[in-house]
Each structure stands twice: as structure tokens, then as C-alpha cells.
A and B are shown apart, each in its own frame.
Chain A
């Protein structure tokens, strides 16, 4: 039974019109700005549209809540040590409020969850994965030499790596943020984990994963490396990371791992049944579009480009089988809604066009490039 607690939603969130909140967010004092941004982010308007649109009726999640507007942030992190087993729940080794426990992976996971939580709260006004303060649980030392990390629908799981191909999976902050962001995308939208919708899901995790890292490092769009999982590949592996958002297809080229298969343009889109229809492959295309938008806008990528993408993934027009072209159009609409018809919209349009997707005033089009088979 679903037992999500419903909060009382205070009517104050209806008082300030969105344009005024945006103005405060852009022109107010830092304190005003933070408050206004949080309020805009928790605006229930678009979620309400989703309910009205009947999509919930078709969704498997029967109960969804409207997030409270005025809430206090409260991180609730728990790290469990599975001690090489693949069986849950393991042993609790660090909870919120406790200092480092001395286990490197556990402490990295704890800090990574904190940085990710802070990003969503302080930048996007989102209170944890579900927008409602969901406690964050990470499990480390999963399996022996296990070389993966995944989100299983309610928790993040990290392996230690085999030491030959991969180091421990908590070593890269953007990987931790990537896994947590899967929870956000899952909570927000109905995207299937398959083909283009799945690749968008993957791309959102890379976008937020990279932004969490950029913010922690204080890197602007120009300074960022735009790599996902830098440091994760072990010594001796020919590669610098799992993926490159800037130059998809260039992250690794190794005799064991093979060559990075990501395309960065629709003409190179890979049609495959493997990898859930290429979710980790074709995500290179929307990844590069985000990189293009962020670098065109300059400055901190999380401030405008990140917000546009976040608003897009929360848009009620996102459906289970959303294609790249649908999403491109939604990002353009989000940019317009947030910033008007200025440089933001132009930057987003140009970025999509650079990867082969043209969004015009009336329609979105993708030229017929044909398809590429994996390994071709």
C-alpha cells in the first residue's frame, strides 16, 4: 500500500505571480533570490496540469502528492556497508550528524549524497529525490570486486570495482549524483527506460551529475571537463572517463572495454536492442545538446541551462515514450517560460540544431539521417 504522507499546502504559494518571483530571482538580494528560486521550483502549477491532463490515470503510481512550498531543508543520509555481500540490508556505518566513519567508500558516498542533496535544494529548490524530504540511502562494498553502481528504484548501490578495469564507484562525485538523479527523474516523470526515452533518462542523470560536480568545484561551463566518471577507470585502461558530454564517443578506447560508442549527432544515432535500446549510447546526443546550451550561455551551467533542463523534465508534456525531438521542443518552451524570448531560447535552439534537431516556432523536425548499427 502506498502510504505517502500528504502535506498541507499553504495557500501563500498562490500569492506571488510567477513573473514577480522570476524578477526577484534575477534581481533580488542573494537572500531574496534563494527564497524566490525555491518558490518557483516548488510551484505546483505544472504538476497540477499533469493531474488535469489525465496522465496519472495511465500511470502505475496511483498517488502523487503536491510538494509543500515552504519547507526547511533536512538532509537524512544513511550509509550501509554490505561487506562484499550482495544481500541487503548490510550494516549501518554512518548516519546524518555523524562524523567520518573512516571507511573511504562510505564517507565518499555520504559526502556525495550531501553535495547532491544540496544542489537540488539550493539551486533547484527540490527537497530530496521525491521533493518531499525522502531519506537518502546508499549501500557500499556491494559484492566482491563488483564493477558497477546502480539505482534500484529506492536506493543507490556502489561496488568497489575490480581494480583492473574500474576503481571504487564512489570515487566520482558525478557518478553518485548520476544515480541519485535517476531517482529524481523517476519521481518526476513517466519516462520508460528504453530507447530515446531511456536515453533522455540517462542524459538527465549525466546533466545533473555533471552540474553537482561543477558546482562543488566552482567551475564555469568553460572550465568544466564535462566528463562523467573521471577517475573511475583503473590505471592501465585507455580512457579518461565513462562518457564525455562535450565530445561523445571520445571517453575511452581500450582493448578490453572497447571504444566509447556514444554518438553526438542524430545522423549517428545507434539503433540497437542492446542496452535497453541504447540508453547509455544515444544519451550522448542530448548530453551534447546540454553542453552546447550551457557553453553558449556561459557562466555557471547550473544557473540557467540546468534550470531549463530541470523544468523540462518536470513538464506535464513529458510522456513515457518522449523522443529527443519532443524533449528539445519542451526545453525551448521551458527557456521561454523562465526567461522570455532572449538569449536563453536562442542558445537552447542552437544547441539542439547542432546535434541535428531543429526546433522552430511551430514545429520540431529531425532530418532523416538513417540509422547506425552498433559497431558500425
Chain B
């Protein structure tokens, strides 16, 4: 996979309050990130087997009942290929949680993201 053509996008909804800035999809090109951060996300995608995940993951057993729970949509574009996964908290897979954490940091830089 060439880092040149990989774009990561993240949006979220739900949670304790509505934040339009966080709900708006924010994306970043891997090639724009510091090498160490880009490599960590690449490893994260691989470890979580992101490209094999179904459209919706997580949620546990009580998602429909609880209040203030949150959902993320994580999308990876590699040239013409695009894979999008909705992550409903609680996300139980530790690899997926780690990936989510890495992408959050990468896309929420002040003045960063698109």
C-alpha cells in the first residue's frame, strides 16, 4: 500500500453533547502526517483487519437503551477503493479501539484535518 494515496476520514455523533465540529467528517492524508504517526495508523489498520470489517461494529448489548452513547464512522480511501465502518460504543476489540484513538488524534489537530 502506498501511503501517497491513503485518506482517513472520521466523524462522530451522539455522546453527552452535540459538537458540530466533531460530527463533521474530518480527514487526513497519511502522507501529510509525521512518519511515525502514519506508520502507527497503518499498523492499526492492519491489526484491526479494518478492510475486512462489516459496515457496523460494536454496541454491546444495551446500545439501544442507553443515553449519551456515541457512534463513529471511520472511512479509509485508497485510490478508487473505499471502506466505511460505523463503530458503536462500547467498542470491544482492543485493536479497533487503538486504531480509533490514533485516527482521532490525527484528525483533531487544531488547525489540522480538512
Contact = CB atoms under 8 A, between A and B. Distances in A.
Interface of A: 86-87, 143-145, 147-154, 162, 164-165, 169, 175, 178-179, 182, 186, 193, 201-202, 205, 228-229, 242-243, 254-259, 261-262, 274-276, 278, 280-281, 374-375
Contact of A150 (B13, B67, B92, B108): B67
B18 interface: yes
A257 B68 contact: no
Interface in B1-29: 13-24
Interface of B: 13-24, 60, 62, 65-70, 89-92, 97, 101, 104, 108, 110-111
Given A179-B68, A256-B110, A374 B16 contact: no
Contacts of B13: 274-275
Nearest to B108: A256
A32 B102 CA distance: 58
A258 B108 CA distance: 12
Nearest to B20: A258
A179 B66 CA distance: 10
Given A152-B62, A275-B23, A182 B16 contact: no
A257 B22 contact: yes
A87 B20 contact: no
A243 B110 contact: no
Nearest to B93: A86
A164 B112 CA distance: 14
Contacts of B70: 148, 150
Contacts of A175: 16
Query: DSSP majority for the A interface?
Result: loop
Contacts of A164: 108
Nearest to A237: B110
Given A256-B110, A261-B18, A151 B97 contact: no
A257 B91 contact: no
B28 to A, nearest CB: 14
A158 B104 CA distance: 19
B20 A374 contact: yes
B68 A151 contact: yes
The 6 closest A-B pairs by CB, nearest first: A258-B21, A258-B20, A153-B65, A150-B68, A152-B66, A280-B18
B67 A205 contact: yes
Contacts of B104: 162
Contacts of A179: 67-68
Contacts of A145: 101
Nearest to B100: A143
Contacts of A278: 18
Contact of A148 (B24, B68, B101, B111): B68
Given A151-B67, A152-B65, A154-B62, A259 B108 contact: no
Contacts of A153: 62, 65-66
A175 B15 CA distance: 12
B92 A86 contact: yes
A100 to B, nearest CB: 26
A261 B60 CA distance: 29
A247 to B, nearest CB: 15
Nearest to B91: A86
B80 to A, nearest CB: 28
B83 to A, nearest CB: 22
B92 A182 contact: no
Contacts of B21: 254-259
A145 B21 CA distance: 19
A185 B60 CA distance: 22
A55 B67 CA distance: 22
Contacts of A374: 20
Given A145-B101, A229-B17, A278-B18, A150 B23 contact: no
A255 B16 contact: no
Given A150-B67, A152-B65, A275-B13, A255 B18 contact: no
A255 to B, nearest CB: 7
Contact of A186 (B17, B65, B101): B65
A182 B24 contact: no
A186 B60 CA distance: 19
Contacts of B108: 164-165, 256
A375 B20 contact: yes
B56 to A, nearest CB: 16
B49 to A, nearest CB: 19
A238 to B, nearest CB: 11
Contacts of A259: 20-21
Given A151-B68, A374-B20, 20 more contacts: A86-B97, A150-B15, A150-B67, A150-B89, A151-B67, A152-B60, A152-B65, A153-B62, A154-B62, A169-B16, A175-B16, A182-B67, A242-B17, A243-B17, A256-B22, A258-B19, A259-B21, A275-B14, A276-B14, A280-B15
